[in-house]
Chains A and B, each alone.
Chain A
Amino acid sequence: MAIIEAQEITKVYRLGDIDLHALSGVSLAIKKGEFIAVMGPSGSGKSTLMNILGCLDKPTNGKYILENIDIGNLNRDELAGIRNKKIGFIFQGFNLLPRTSAIENVELPMLYDGLSAKDRGGKALEALRNVGLEGREDHHPNQLSGGQQQRVAIARALVNDAPIILADEPTGNLDSKTSAEIMELFVKLNTQSDITIILVTHENDIAAYSRRIIKFLDGRIISDEHKERL
């Protein structure tokens, strides 16, 4: 059964008098536990797709169903609720709150879920332990390396037990060794916890960690192939 189902999704931006077709008719079905790499040159529509899959944006036309919920019918706050419970975002620039300790960053999604301070602390510690950051709870982002910051972001994405992780070039700011470590972490989460991972990347060796590669060009899918992980 598909956890994500996109049917004929189009996204049109109006720039003055010109209509810009960021996505022109994308259909996609993703099953639970898949590990997908989305590739393509810039402007090919992969970021737009990620925004729509992440419920940050709504398609101009077409239907998006996430875990049997039709996203098109939801209002702003309901979308925020979906992002909070179902989706974990990982960004290229980490996007941690500055001047805020690692553990408080990880607690943030639970805060917006209305959990008590006691429950939040315990779950956040556990999430940090899972990404190998035990003992760094009270470090602020500027006291952590890039790889460590990305681990905090991963802990934050996972802490509300989201079934889907959307990662937009998660290793773009990291050196190759750290990139490999982060990718190993994604593989571990994918195989051990059956978390669906969709990541955008330019690099073939990052895409090599996935088991399905979707290539974009000019707002359309030009190839979609399943493969064995290397």
Chain B
Amino acid sequence: MINLPSTFRISFRALKVNKMRSALTMLGIIIGVGAVIAMLAVGTGASKKISDQISSMGSNLLIILPGATTAGGVRMGSGTQPTLTMGDAEAIQKECPAVQDIAPVHSGVAQVVYGHQNWSTGVVGTTPSMLIVRDWSLAAGRSFTEQDVKSATKVCLLGQSVVDNLFGDMDPTGQFIRIKNVPFVVNGVLAPKGQSAQGQDQDDTVLIPVTTAQKKLFGTSFPGMIRIIMVKAKSTEDLSSAEKQINELLRQRHHIGTKQDNDFTVRNLTQVMQTAEQSTKVMTLLLGAIASVSLLVGGIGIMNIMLVSVTERTREIGIRMAIGAKTWDIRLQFLIEALTLSLIGGVAGIILGISGSKLISTLAGWTTIISPFSVLLAFGFSGLVGIFFGFYPAYKASLLDPIEALRYE
């Protein structure tokens, strides 16, 4: 019969006798577990950051840009040719079944003034559906309406950064501000979104009705011209069909022949971001796998020390066998020793991993996320390593010949 509590006591005693050696053996596991946790935390943090950016950009988002103009052989770059119109935007909304909603954008940079504070920011003329397309909610007040767009009312919604710069802690709702010296009523404040994938402050913006932008602020020689159309597809699966439908529709509307190039570009940012997210996930796995190797090396360290320990204590094993220790008594004694080393190492490694990832996020400024799953995984893995690498030495000990073992000097 095996007496577990006593076997545990025997194992603990043996570890306590060789404190330094036990600590050094644990170090391998500590570093291994710590590395697994820290690496997974870095990887998970990176994925989280990207998926946050995807959702802050607005999910299932397509962006349509006008084509490039060529003036005297100089190509002016995407967006310079005024090919997109409100008519295009409305047609996409009506005729593309994979599209949930669209928001036209006619924007520019302008100085915004309130009281004696001023601030230069991007002023975006659009429609109320912008809030749907970009999954944007309001922190205060209310949105402007389709009616405001029709009648080119001078109302606006402020991003949080603009509010901070102009109003401080004051509630801006209902206040008058001046954009390019034109007075606007603040209808509401947009909920903060933070940085975009490109590092831009998405909250440094003012939304106004698109018609107001066209007529009062950023007039053009082409009435109804807009700079960008933002499109929200019905679902992630609909993104590519929406892209195709938009391409067909706009080619038809712009009278582009089969051999001619598009005078517009459809960008699928969501897809780009999702690819990035996928690759971060792969990176997380890779980091975790590399860290696991150090855990494995730690396990080999345990096996090494346990083999030394078995040899050193051959005589002790002989004595134990002579007075009645059975195969599994001896086996468990050494197995528990190995397991204790790896589990204590595991706990210390968890502490190291958590403080390590905190340090990384402080020093390098990376987002790190410690998931309970990664902690459990690392701890469970260290236990398995202990059992796996502890078994061979324990097995060897249990098969010693008691007579030989007793004679061992």
Is A111 a contact of B3 with CB atoms below 8 Å?
yes
Among candidates B6, B316, B326, residue contacting A80 with C-beta atoms closer than 8 Å: B326
Cβ-defined contact, A100 with B13, below 8 A: yes
Q: Which residues in chain A, 103-130, are within 8 Å of chain B measured between CB atoms?
A: 108-109, 111-115, 117
- The yes or no answer to A137 lying at the interface (CB within 8 A) is no
Binds B, one of A25-33, A83-91, A196-204: A83-91
Task: Give the docked Cα–Cα distance between A57 and B404 (Å).
Answer: 11
List chain B residues, Cβ under 8 A from A114.
Answer: 1-3
- Whether A84 pairs with B403 at a CB distance below 8 angstroms is no
Q: Could you mark each residue 308-348 of chain B with 1 if its beta carbon is under 8 Å from any beta carbon of chain A, else 0?
A: 00000001101111111111010000000000000000000
CA–CA, A77 and B319, complex, Å: 15
Contact A113 B1 (CB under 8 A): yes
Query: Would you call A97 an interface residue if the criterion is a C-beta within 8 Å of the partner chain's C-beta atoms?
Result: yes
The yes or no answer to A176 lying at the interface (CB within 8 A) is no
Query: Shortest beta-carbon distance, B11 to chain A, in Å?
Result: 13
1/0 per residue A41-68: CB within 8 Å of B? 0000000000100101100000000000
* Shortest beta-carbon distance from A162 to chain B in Å: 10
- Our pick among B13, B17, B315, B326 for the contact of A112 (Cβ within 8 Å) is B326
Q: Is the CB of A84 within 8 A of B324?
A: yes
- B141 at interface (Cβ–Cβ under 8 A)? no
Docked Cα-Cα span, A152 to B325, in Å, equals 19
Query: Are the C-beta atoms of B13 and A56 separated by less than 8 Å?
Result: no
Contact of B326 among A54, A81, A100, A115 (CB under 8 A): A81
Interface residues of A in 159-191 (CB under 8 A from B): 160
Query: What is the size, in residues, of chain A's interface with B at 8 Å between Cβ atoms?
Result: 29
User: Can you name the residue of chain B whose Cβ is closest to the Cβ of A98?
Assistant: B316
Say if the beta carbon of A95 comes within 8 Å of chain B.
yes
Q: Are A89 and B322 in contact (CB under 8 A)?
A: yes
A83 and B322 form a contact (CB under 8 A): yes
Rounded to whole angstroms, the CA-CA distance of A96 and B329 in the bound complex is: 18
**Nearest-CB residue, chain A, relative to B7:** A111
Given contacts A112-B329, A114-B2, contact A81 B403 (CB under 8 A): no
Give min CB distance, A183 to chain B, whole Å.
22
Min Cβ gap B204→A in Å is 70
- Nearest A residue to B6 via CB reads A111
Q: A91–B319 Cα gap in the complex (Å)? A: 10
Q: Look across to chain B and name the residue whose beta carbon is closest to the beta carbon of A113.
A: B324
Q: List 25 A-B contacts (CB under 8 A).
A: A54-B322, A56-B321, A56-B322, A56-B402, A56-B403, A57-B403, A77-B326, A80-B321, A80-B324, A80-B326, A81-B326, A83-B322, A83-B324, A95-B406, A96-B319, A97-B316, A99-B17, A108-B323, A109-B323, A109-B324, A111-B3, A111-B6, A112-B320, A112-B326, A156-B323
Interface set of A (CB-CB < 8 Å, partner B): 51, 54, 56-57, 76-77, 80-81, 83-85, 89, 91, 95-100, 108-109, 111-115, 117, 156, 160
The 10 closest A-B pairs by CB, nearest first: A84-B324, A114-B1, A112-B324, A77-B326, A80-B326, A109-B323, A111-B6, A95-B319, A112-B325, A56-B402
Known: A56-B321, A80-B321, A113-B324. 16 other contacts (CB 8 A): A54-B322, A56-B322, A76-B326, A77-B326, A80-B325, A99-B17, A100-B13, A108-B320, A109-B323, A109-B324, A112-B323, A112-B325, A114-B2, A114-B3, A115-B3, A117-B6
